[in-house]
Amino acid sequence: MSQVNYGSADAVVSRMPSPSIWNDCPLESIILDPSKGRHLFEDFTAGVVADATVVLGQRNGLTAYCESDDATDVALQADDEGTVILTTDATDADVTCIVDGDNTSGLWKTPTAGNAKGLWFEARIKSTSVTNGDFGFFVGLAQPGEAKDAGGCQGADAATLADVDYVGFAMKSGDADDLLIAYNEAGAGTAQASDDAIDITINTWMRVGFKVVTKSQGTYVQFYVDGEYLGSAYDVDLTGTNANWPGATDMNVTISITADGAAAVTDGIYVDWVRVATTN
C-alpha cells in the first residue's frame, strides 16, 4: 500500500515550523542515526526551573541568565502553554538571555564554502514594544558564553551589536520596529546588518529563520520570515572568501534582550519555540 503525504503551502501561516525552510532537512535520518547530524526542537513545554540568577531548562542543556538576579525575568506563561517571556528590570544595559549547550559547549557549527554542511534555524517570537529606546534583542546562533553581563550579542546601550560571532536576527533599541538580518566574524570583518529588511509589529507573532542552500552557482545562506523567502538581495554568499561570515564556528542557540535606559519592567520578547538542525 502506498503512503499519501498531505503537505501545506511553503509559506503557510501557522504556529509551527515553516515547510519552506525545513522541507530539505533530513530530520528523519538525523533522528534515527545521530551520527548524521543534530536536531533540537524546544517548545518550552517542560517549563523552566528558577534558581537565583540562573534558570535551567529541564532538557536540551538550556541555560537562562538574568543579570538582574531576578529569575522571574525568564517566565513560563501560565495562560499560553509552552511560551516563555524574557523581560528586563528596567535597568540600563540589563541582559536576559537563553542559550543551549549550558552556555559552554558550541553545538551547531556554521558552514564554509568548502565544507557546506546543512544548517537550518527558525524561531517564533513576538515583541512587547516597538518604542525606540526601550530595549534591543537578538535571536539566532552565537558563540558560546553569551549568557553573561554585557552579553547577548548586543552593546551595553542596546543600540549596537557586539563584536562576537553570530548569525541571526537583531533589533537595535534605536529602531525598534525594524528587525535586522545580522552576522559577524569576531575581530576579522565588519558586522553586517540589513536595515529595513523586516518590519516588527507590536505583540504580533512572527517566525524568523535561515538555512544553507547549495546551488549550481555556489553556497548561500537564505533568510525567511513567516515562511517567505526574503530574496537573493539578503543572501549571504559563502562561495568565495567572506571575512564577515563566522564560518566553521561552534555556536549556541542564543535568544537575548538588552535594556536601554527607557525600558519598563514588562518590556521584552515572547518565545514560543526554537528549532535548529545541522548535518555532519
**Domain ranges for the chain:** 19-279
For residues 189 and 12, the model is more confident at 189
3-state secondary structure of 268: strand
Average pLDDT (178-202) is 89
pTM of model > 0.85: yes
Q: Within 13 Å of residue 21, how many CA atoms lie on the same side as its CB? A: 28
3-state secondary structure of 254: strand
Contact 142, 166 (CB under 8 A): yes
Instruction: Give the confidence band of 11 by pLDDT, cuts at 50, 70, 90.
Output: low
- Taking only the tens place, the pLDDT of each residue in 91-107 is 888 888 999 888 888 99
Q: How many CB atoms lie within 10 A of CB 87?
A: 26
Q: Percent of the chain having pLDDT more than 70? A: 87
For residues 194 and 279, the model is more confident at 279
Average pLDDT (127-154) is 93
- Taking only the tens place, the pLDDT of each residue in 41-76 is 998 877 665 544 555 555 567 888 888 777 678 877
- What nine digits make up the cell of 211? 538555512
- What nine digits make up the cell of 223? 533568510
pLDDT given at position 58: 53
- pLDDT above 90: residue 20: yes
pLDDT given at position 265: 75
pLDDT given at position 59: 58
> Mean pLDDT score of the chain, rounded to an integer?
85
Rounded Cα gap, residues 253 and 101, in angstroms: 8
- Determine the CATH number of domain 19-279: 2.60.120.200
